[in-house]
Amino acid sequence: MQLDFQAREVTVKLVYYGPALSGKTTNLQAIHRLLTPEGKGRLMTLETRDDRTLFFDLLPLTVNTEMGLTVRIKLFTVPGQVIHNSTRRLVLQGADGVAFIADSQVAEVRANQASFKDLRKNLRENGIDPAAMPLVIQYNKRDLPNVRSEEEIMRMASQGKERIYLATATHGAGVADTFMGLIGTTWENMERQHKLTERFGLNEQAVMSDLRRRFGPPVEATKHG
Determine the number of helices (DSSP H) and then strands (DSSP E) in the chain: 7, 7
C-beta of 87 vs 203, nearer to ligand GTP: 87
Helix axes 175-194, 24-34, angle to 10 degrees: 90
The residue among 91 and 207 lying less far from ligand GTP, judged by its C-beta, is: 91
**Which parts of 39-78 interact with Mg ion (CB under 5 A)?**
53
Residue 169 binding partner per list Mg ion, ligand GTP, none, with a CB distance cut-off of 5 to 8 Å that depends on partner kind: ligand GTP
CB-based contact 63:207 (threshold 8 Å) = yes
In this complex, which beta carbon is closest to ligand GTP, that of residue 20 or of residue 219? 20
CB atoms closer than 10 angstroms to residue 66: 10
Taking the CA of residue 195 as centre, how many other CA atoms within 13 Å lie in the half-sphere pointing to its CB?
Answer: 2
Q: Which does 70 bind (CB under 5 to 8 A by kind): ligand GTP, Mg ion, none?
A: none
Asked if 80 interacts with ligand GTP (CB under 6 A), we say yes
Interface with ligand GTP (CB under 6 A), residue from 4, 33, 36, 51: 51
Question: Is 26 an interacting residue with respect to Mg ion (CB under 5 A)?
Answer: no
Cβ neighbours of 106 (radius 10 Å): 13
Please identify, among the stretches 18-26, 31-39, 63-71, 203-211, the one whose residues bind ligand GTP according to the rule CB under 6 A.
Answer: 18-26
CA pair distance 62, 205, nearest whole angstrom? 15
Strands 2-4 and 9-17: antiparallel
How many other C-beta atoms are found inside a 10 Å radius of the C-beta of residue 2? Answer: 12
Judged by CB, which is closer to ligand GTP: 72, or 88? 88
Binding footprint of ligand GTP, residue count (CB under 6 A): 22
Identify which of residues 143 and 187 has a Cβ nearer to ligand GTP in the complex: 143
Residue 32 lies near ligand GTP (rule: CB under 6 A):
no
For 54, 67, 72, 188, the CA distances from 174, given in Å and listed in that order, are 25, 31, 23, 21
Q: How far is the CB of 56 from Mg ion (least distance, A)?
A: 8
Closest listed residue to residue 18, CA positions, set 97, 87, 98: 98
State which residue, 11 or 25, has the beta carbon closest to Mg ion. 25
Q: Is 27 in the site for Mg ion (CB under 5 A)?
A: no
Per rule CB under 5 A, is residue 25 in the interface with Mg ion? yes
Give the footprint of ligand GTP on this chain (CB under 6 A): 18, 20-26, 51-53, 77, 79-81, 140-141, 143-144, 168-170
